[in-house]
Amino acid sequence: MDFLADCRTRLAFDLVANTWNPVVVWALRHGPRRHVDLRRTIGGISAKVLTETVRRLEHDGLVERREGAYALTPLGETLLEPIEGFGRWAAEHGDDVVAAQSRARSA
Supply the pTM of this predicted model: 0.85
Taking CA atoms, 58 is separated from 31, 34, 50, 90, 99, in Å, by 16, 15, 12, 27, 37
pLDDT, tens digit only, all 107 positions of the chain: 566 666 788 888 888 889 999 999 999 999 999 999 999 999 999 999 999 999 999 999 999 999 999 999 999 999 999 999 999 999 999 999 999 999 999 98
Measured CA to CA in angstroms, residue 31 lies from 17, 38, 92 at distances of 23, 11, 28
Output the pLDDT for position 2: 64
- Residue type, position 77, single letter: E
Q: What is the pLDDT of residue 53?
A: 97
- Structural domains in the chain? 8-106 (1.10.10.10)
Q: Which of 85, 47, 16 is nearest to 37 (CA)?
A: 47
